[in-house]
């Protein structure tokens, strides 16, 4: 398996879709001649032309709405936002239009559209460019919402998202664009709504998604050095959520830690923990631990941003204090 970085895996999925389906087009700010804010669409304008690679005005509500119209008419648009924070000015189009048209038309109108956007903190983009709004959008019926943590999953989930007949929020952790990982040469897809057990263990289940998986992996290494066996689950999909995989793990380990790198207040793990408590409480031998970023605006200063961001060391200390006595 070749090793590539995440932005190249995403680029591969986009290029593949453009080549194989004439109905696929990409809309967004500076995606053409500039090649995209994170260089994901670099070279696409020259290869596919301005009819399919469309630079848009600085108006997210306008070009998201254009995408919805195009999708309703039978095309498969891919919308690129410079930041998921900018989805806020397009929320009416995303939440009221894209998510509801199929339901309100009795299934007559489909919106096969993907909205791609870098998300999350950790790269010093300050308060207005470091939001994790995918945790809000995951609440909306009619929207799929995924957030990959590695190049392999990014490509597999993107392939499935582009083929979906429903709108998909494809949140790309900005912190991970340069992350390297093995990607199979053979074609594959990853179903939306499927979590992944990336490591098996027996003492505690560690659950996160996106950029949080790097923190979880570091946490597992520290726990392993203390002879604590952790099972790791990558949620991958925030809507729908794969409770079957999570529940199976809890029945084995009887303990759960859930990590949001988004702010703890209002994070997706609050919903996950609530449902786990309702459906798998009898299997838990201790309280569920929920960890998230500090409830503050994201600082620009690197040290302050790091202090607001969850760390493996703090997570391990919490586990040892609340759940497991070494």
Q: What is the pLDDT of residues 116-170, one digit of tens each?
A: 999 999 999 999 999 999 999 999 999 999 999 999 999 999 999 999 999 999 9
Nearest to 264 by CA among 291, 237, 296: 291
**Measured distance CA(230)–CA(199) in Å, rounded:** 8
Average pLDDT of every residue of the chain: 95
**Measured distance CA(12)–CA(173) in Å, rounded:** 17
- Give the domains, in start order, of the chain with CATH numbers: 3-182 (3.40.50.970), 196-322 (3.40.50.920)
Q: What is the mean pLDDT of residues 63-72?
A: 98
**Measured distance CA(221)–CA(199) in Å, rounded:** 11
**Measured distance CA(123)–CA(305) in Å, rounded:** 9
Residue 326 pLDDT exceeds 60? no
Residue 324's pLDDT band (cuts 50, 70, 90): low
* 4 backbone dihedrals φ, ψ, rounded to 5°: -135, 165
pLDDT of residue 325: 60
pLDDT of residue 2: 87
Residue 90 pLDDT exceeds 80? yes
Q: What is the mean pLDDT of residues 179-186?
A: 96
218 to 61, 67, 178, 237, 267: CA distances (angstroms)? 39, 39, 18, 21, 21
Active site residues: 60, 129
Model-wide pTM > 0.85: yes
């Amino acid at each position: 398996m070749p090793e590539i970085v995440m932005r190249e895996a995403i680029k591969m999925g986009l290029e593949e879709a453009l080549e194989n389906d004439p109905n696929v087009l990409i809309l967004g700010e500076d995606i053409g001649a500039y090649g995209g804010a994170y260089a994901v669409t670099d070279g696409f304008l020259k290869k596919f032309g301005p009819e399919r690679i469309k630079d848009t005005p600085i108006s997210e509500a306008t070009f998201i709405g254009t995408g919805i119209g195009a999708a309703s008419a039978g095309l498969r648009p891919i919308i690129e936002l410079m930041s998921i924070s900018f989805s806020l000015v397009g929320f009416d189009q995303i939440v009221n239009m894209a998510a509801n048209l199929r339901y309100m038309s009795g299934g007559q109108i489909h919106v096969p559209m993907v909205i791609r956007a870098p998300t999350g903190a950790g790269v010093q983009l300050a308060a207005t460019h470091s939001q994790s709004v995918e945790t809000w959008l995951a609440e909306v019926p009619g929207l799929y919402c995924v957030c990959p943590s590695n190049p392999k999953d990014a490509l597999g989930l993107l392939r499935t998202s582009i083929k979906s007949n429903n709108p998909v929020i494809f949140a790309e952790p900005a912190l991970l664009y340069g992350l390297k990982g093995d990607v199979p040469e053979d074609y594959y897809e990853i179903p939306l709504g499927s979590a992944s057990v990336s490591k098996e263990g027996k003492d505690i289940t560690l659950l996160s998604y996106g950029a949080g998986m790097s923190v979880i992996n570091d946490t597992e290494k520290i726990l392993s050095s203390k002879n604590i066996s952790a099972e790791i689950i990558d949620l991958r999909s925030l809507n729908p959520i794969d409770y079957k995989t999570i529940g199976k793990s809890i029945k084995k380990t009887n303990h759960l830690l859930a990590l949001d790198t988004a702010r703890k207040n209002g994070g997706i793990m609050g919903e996950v923990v609530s449902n786990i408590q309702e459906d798998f409480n009898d299997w838990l031998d201790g309280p569920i631990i929920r960890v998230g970023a500090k409830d503050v605006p994201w600082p620009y200063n690197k040290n302050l941003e790091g202090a607001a961001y969850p760390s493996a060391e703090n997570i391990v200390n919490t586990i040892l204090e609340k759940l497991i006595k070494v």
